[in-house]
Chain A
């Protein structure tokens, strides 16, 4: 009886085990210290050093593109001809310590460099070595220089013997004494030189003003007529004291305190206050920016006129309200005024500096450690600013340089790379997601359902797969870019994503179908079926995880591929269109031999970005594949 009971009990137990999953059985499994597949994969992945490198590289690229793009806005239409094609350099403000030690006599700045003159007569040039401005001639090093000045891309010096030295950019002969005036200047030596953008302005002993360089050679150009000489009503010459030039005008301050303006009929010439020209006010100093002019009278009061579009002069809006750009403190009591291309700096008699104008390149960012009230002198030009305090220390602010150079419109190349990367990475990601979604759906449907559905889908896949990728991508994107009615930038980019995605899913679809077909025949599926598990459950819980890893690995490796494809398409001009930057279309300029040869950073850097991004993603993909393949611990 007892044995019978025992047998009955064990039979019951057997049936129970067969049909009712018991809790204590699970607890045995739990005791086996099982890990979830995700955890295993993550563990394996992080044990792979190359995978980590890839992950770090990818995250760095993400931060560089998406992260930085929040802080650095893209200005598609900004252009600044002066800054075009500057090589990578971030030392525009790194003045030599010797200059500070020897005492600053003068500093002047060009577009990407500054030149300094010490009290001991030594010349220093720092910043970017465009057109060899940093190659100071040996004679200059030997001579005792008394005056310096800088144009946009050339520099000039005079030594104590009155000898003139010029070097730098010489495409319009601005860095040499003009042949037309050579004889006259021999008889009437130069006493002071001034750079005026790509021009050289000379004032001679007799007070005449000569200007040569860009635009002074061409008939019909307003600054062609040198020398400029002035006389009072008795025929006595009035000497010029200071002469400045921008691209439109030559502004001359005469010794009688009047201002003369030569050149095109710009706002600077038209809007000059009459009291400055008729002699009622004695002007003691002038400053000239790209589109505005400033004068200071003998009492230290400011006069400002010129273009109203540069935030540099006070003006009335339509409602008749006065918009004040000039700080009130900077309107009187002026000791010195100097102007860059788009901003002005004023030094008052009580040793304070004030600045206003455009802040496009950080030229208004006064240094934090600036102590107002102790400033001795200011040296401002272009976008660089320097000042010296009473104890002789030098402070600098403004344009530090362009870390990765500039493009043909003078835009900072870093910004281009950041935003180009953002577009390239997005296009690649969306394209690969589209392709993976299509591929997975078609592959799974084909694999699970089989029969005529499988047949049709596979024929369709075969047709799409026989589309040669690049020619079809080019043709399709040409069609979509040109034939669509809505040609906004975003639509175009979306079109590219779709073209890339739609053409590249076939491989994955076939892979997944094959995988599902082979998994279906595996023993574990058979076992699951024998246990009576529902078909739906088998598909999702048993077969799908096997395909899962395939999808994920393909997603990663396909991402690298679609990055490269986007770059290639854009490079050919059939991808993302300018002015929207992408790494590929930034590289298009490499087809221009001049850019290719001279401005290396404009094609090497975007190329490197693409390589780093694609390499990181490939490394991640490899590591993922290794981590996800349970059989594979060695490959």
Chain B
């Protein structure tokens, strides 16, 4: 097992390298002169002083060196945890993204957990009672949910629960002092609607998927064998069918982690939630490419890791998968 994990992690290295090179090239292609954003506009009137300052930044940021050396410097900095300087926020990138990262992880983890807590039992129920009234209801629900853009779900929720009923804030972050009890209560209130939005967005797909895989498992021969042995329905479903249905569910779980994380940018934008999606969009619009680069790298590494987690959990739930 450990050997497998090690090998799998090692295989990541070339992929990460290639992605980082591609991203680096993309960032180099981006329009605009980042140094101009380092020096506050209009701060220095004298063109000569401006030019010397510009040149000093030019050398300090390493723009005088050839591209591949710039890449190696950047990569070295990345590995040692030096993510560079954000021109828009005027501070280290680390400081810019650390709090949003926590915020993003929170809403995503919450909604993934809730989505699976709901969709696994619902999916099993629907599959077992196929074509029943509740099954049809959930089918319709998931079809509509799949056809609904997340931002529209979010907007509708804001309109109903925030503007009309006034139960939850329409967006933003809590303004209380961090650390106090009031802050956490308020944080949860602000958290609620984005989490519901993400959960609803994820639910539609996962319910369908769980239902499908349970149905598939139920049609297998070993289920018939188990039934003919006279096992109770519960045992058949929860030990025989569900375990086998779990295999594809594990796949979609890892996919939905990636999907949610990258898709939550839209939800964060609607709810003005200070997450990495919002930061990414703000950074792009303000040509703060250091931040964009790091965030894209983060997303890529996250999805690679999710793939590895998927492989490992495959091995855990499916005895047929051989690791060697």
Contacts and interface: CB of A to CB of B under 8 A. Distances in A.
Nearest to B269: A572
Interface stretch (B78-86, B149-157, B185-193): B149-157
Given A474-B284, A597-B163, A618-B143, A466 B300 contact: yes
Interface stretch (A132-140, A272-280, A383-391, A477-485): A477-485
Contacts of A472: 262, 296, 299
A42 B281 CA distance: 45
Interface in B193-218: 212, 215
Nearest to B12: A466
Interface stretch (A164-172, A228-236, A606-614): A606-614
A468 B259 CA distance: 7
B258 A468 contact: yes
A64 interface: no
Interface string A605-635: 0010011001101110010000000000011
B209 to A, nearest CB: 12
A463 B18 contact: yes
B4 to A, nearest CB: 17
Q: Most chain-A Cβ atoms within 10 A of its Cβ — which of B147, B280, B285, B302?
A: B147
A479 B30 CA distance: 6
B124 interface: no
Contacts of A470: 262-263, 265-266, 277
A607 B15 contact: no
Interface in B298-323: 299-300, 302-304, 307
A618 B143 CA distance: 7
Interface string A452-471: 00000001001101111111
A635 B214 CA distance: 11
A571 interface: yes
B144 A615 contact: yes
B31 to A, nearest CB: 5
A271 B212 CA distance: 77
B314 to A, nearest CB: 15
Contact of B259 (A469, A483, A603): A469
Contact of A568 (B151, B158, B163, B215): B151
Contacts of A417: none
A475 interface: yes
A471 B18 contact: no
A358 to B, nearest CB: 37
Nearest to B159: A596
A244 interface: no
A252 B307 CA distance: 79
A614 B32 CA distance: 38
Interface in A569-594: 571-574, 584, 587, 590-591, 593
Nearest to A473: B262
Q: Most chain-B Cβ atoms within 10 A of its Cβ — which of A459, A463, A465, A617?
A: A463
B231 interface: no
A607 B280 CA distance: 25
Interface in A224-259: none
A587 B159 CA distance: 14
Interface in A426-462: 459, 462
Nearest to A584: B149
B31 A483 contact: yes
Contacts of B302: 468
Interface in A15-57: none
A482 B31 contact: yes
Contacts of A479: 26, 29-31
Contacts, number: 129
A635 B300 contact: no
Contacts of B115: none
A471 B303 CA distance: 12
Contacts of A467: 19, 300, 303
B146 interface: yes
Query: How big is the A interface, by class?
Result: 35 or more
B211 to A, nearest CB: 9
Interface in A549-573: 560, 564, 567-568, 571-573
A607 B155 contact: yes
Nearest to B150: A568
Q: Most chain-B Cβ atoms within 10 A of its Cβ — which of A468, A478, A483, A622?
A: A468
A476 interface: yes
A64 to B, nearest CB: 16
Contacts of A564: 147-149
A466 B26 CA distance: 16
Contacts of A611: 144, 147-149, 152
B273 interface: no
B163 to A, nearest CB: 6
Contacts of A560: 146-147
A619 B143 contact: yes
B147 A463 contact: no
Interface string B6-31: 00000000010011000000100111
Contacts of B277: 470-471
Contact of B149 (A468, A483, A571): A571
A128 B215 CA distance: 53
B122 interface: no
Nearest to B16: A466
Contact of A474 (B158, B159, B265, B303): B265
Contacts of B270: 591
B241 interface: no
Contacts of A478: 30, 284
Interface in B125-149: 130, 143-144, 146-149
A561 to B, nearest CB: 9
Contacts of B215: 635
The 10 tightest CB contacts between A and B, nearest first, are: A614-B147, A468-B299, A468-B262, A615-B147, A607-B152, A470-B262, A482-B31, A471-B299, A483-B31, A466-B304
9 contacts: A466-B304, A475-B296, A564-B149, A568-B266, A571-B266, A572-B281, A573-B285, A590-B155, A618-B143
Interface of A: 459, 462-463, 465-472, 474-476, 478-479, 482-483, 560, 564, 567-568, 571-574, 584, 587, 590-591, 593, 596-597, 600, 603, 607, 610-611, 614-615, 617-619, 622, 634-635
Given A564-B149, A607-B156, A635-B215, 5 more contacts: A463-B18, A470-B262, A470-B265, A471-B280, A471-B299
